[in-house]
Amino acid sequence: MAPVSAIELQSRPVGLPPGTAAAALASTDLASLRRVVDGATAADVDRALSRSARPGRGGARLEDFATLLSPAAAARLEEMAGAAHDLTIRRFGRTVHLFAPLYLSNECVSVCTYCGFSAGNEISRRTLGVNEVVEEATALTDRGFRHLLLVAGEHARVVSKDYLVSCVEALAPLVPSLSVEVQVWDTDTYRRLVEAGCDGLVVYQETYDAGTYAATHLKGKKRNYDWRLAAPDRGAEAGMRRLGIGALLGLHPDWRADAIALAAHARALIHRWWRVEVSLALPRLRPAAGGYEPEDPVTDRDFVQLLCALRLSLPDVGISLSTREQATFRDSVVPLGVTTMSAGSHTEPGGYAAPSDAEPQFQVSDDRSPAAVAAALRGAGYDPVWKDWQRA
């Protein structure tokens, strides 16, 4: 895998600030870790399994994580699943937290090959007014949700800092927990969002491979890999309590390389920002407007191995599973390490309070209602938790 700073910068400072988790990740020898996957033996898997959940200095042993992604470990999937299940129950109990994405806007000036909102796509676009955002949130709280993730395309003028702060200020009295997944901002903007009542920041790097990143992010500020990679650091510095990171599985032809980088990034964030709760998402790419079809889909078996390996190596991180996945698959993998799920999601702006004709970001595979997802969890012996935060 190429080093992580080979992107031509467009409008933001060059490089990664020293002392950040992003800088620590950039100095991690990911290529050597990737080679561990191919060379791992049955004895290596034994060792990795026996000391999983016992981190060494600096946190999770990344060599063990790489070993658990290997073909040798794939032969031990049932054993990995059992251990992942036990660890998850001990740490998180028989509970799954539910949240909903609230799309504010699908306006976007970036061109990304895999995304329905990409600037080149001829789609119906819309940005909700703050009053409409409140209506959407009210429709979601009526369905039980107490944690909302505000999502928007990248359009600094339409989806501006002031607009985002206004949305958070309007929602904070209604919604106990608010996170944002929007274009990346500077520390001051994140601080304003925190002060307005936002407690979580979600930034997917999409792919950690610099070459694939450049080839899939063709236009816009999002081309700046480094600026994006250090966004979780800036969020933590600004006082965000929760950081969510992820990679779009299937974007880079070698998903194991991206998985290793994701785990290394999580480990670096935990080590650098010890007060912050880090969670991971494992979105598998879905077909989207513009005719995008993922070239290198991650199989269900691969996905399960990755999920278990992450749980065993990072026993305390939350793992989120979205409605990109099919209902039956989501139900099946809950016991293996999933701690958070979205439900009843709309991936277009509007749509909860009233039907919307705006284009969705991607196709949803699990279209069950929130109540149906909660009922399925209860049926499997899990408590669906709607509220787990109280702003002090």
Partner 1 sequence: MEHDGDALVIAGRGFSSRLFLGTGKFPSNESLAGSIASTRTELVTVALRRVDPTAETDILDAIPERVLVMTNTSGAVDADEAVRLARLARAAGLPTWIKVEVTPDPRYLLPDPIETLKASERLVADGFTVLPYCPADPVLCKHLEEVGCATVMPLGSWIGSNQGLRTRGALEIIVEQARVPVVVDAGLGAPSHASEALELGADAVLVNTAIGTALDPPAMGRAFRLAVEAGRAGYRAGLPAAGPVAAASSPLTGFLS
Residues contributing to the site for partner 1 (CB under 8 A): 89-95, 144, 146, 176, 241, 270, 274-277, 316, 378, 381-383, 385-390, 392
Using DSSP, state whether 175 is helix, strand or coil. coil
**Residue owning tokens 């992010």:** 217
Locate 133 and state its tokens: 């955002």
Minimum CB–partner distance for residue 267 and partner 1 (Å): 12
Q: State which residue, 98 or 152, has the beta carbon closest to partner 1.
A: 98
Question: Which of 193, 287, 208 lies closest to 254 in space, CA to CA?
Answer: 208
Q: Give me the least distance between CB of 275 and partner 1, in Å please.
A: 5
Amino acid letter for position 210: A
Helix (H) or strand (E) holding 340: strand 340-342
Nearer to partner 1, 154 or 233 (CB): 233
Where residue 345 falls (left for φ over 0; alpha for ψ -120 to 50; beta otherwise) is beta
Give 69 or 96: the residue with its C-beta nearer to partner 1: 96
Q: Residue 140 CB, nearest distance to partner 1 (Å)?
A: 13
Q: How far is the CB of 370 from partner 1 (least distance, A)?
A: 12
Instruction: Name which of 23 and 276 has its Cβ closer to partner 1.
Output: 276
Nearer to partner 1, 164 or 385 (CB): 385
Kind and range of the H or E run holding 247: strand 242-247
Residue 108 has φ and ψ, to the nearest 5°, of -155, 135
Angle at which helix 187-196 crosses helix 161-171, to 10 degrees, equals: 20
Q: Which is nearer to partner 1, 242 or 324 (CB)?
A: 242
Residue 204 or residue 386: which is nearer to partner 1 going by CB?
Answer: 386
Residue 211 has a CB neighbour count (10 Å cut-off) of 13
Tokens 């409409």 belong to residue = 132
Backbone φ/ψ region at 273: left (φ over 0), alpha (ψ -120 to 50), beta: beta
**Is the CB of 152 or the CB of 317 nearer to partner 1?**
317
Strand, helix or coil at 188?
A: helix
Minimum distance from CB of 94 to partner 1 (Å)?
Answer: 4
What is the rounded distance in angstroms from the CA atom of residue 237 to the CA atom of residue 45?
37
CB neighbour class for 165 (10 Å; exposed up to 12, middle 13-18, buried from 19): middle
Residue carrying the six token digits 């989120």: 320
Minimum CB–partner distance for residue 388 and partner 1 (Å)? 5
CA angle 47, 52, 57 (to 5 degrees): 100
Smallest distance, partner 1 to C-beta of residue 367, A? 22
CB of 340 to partner 1, least distance (A): 14
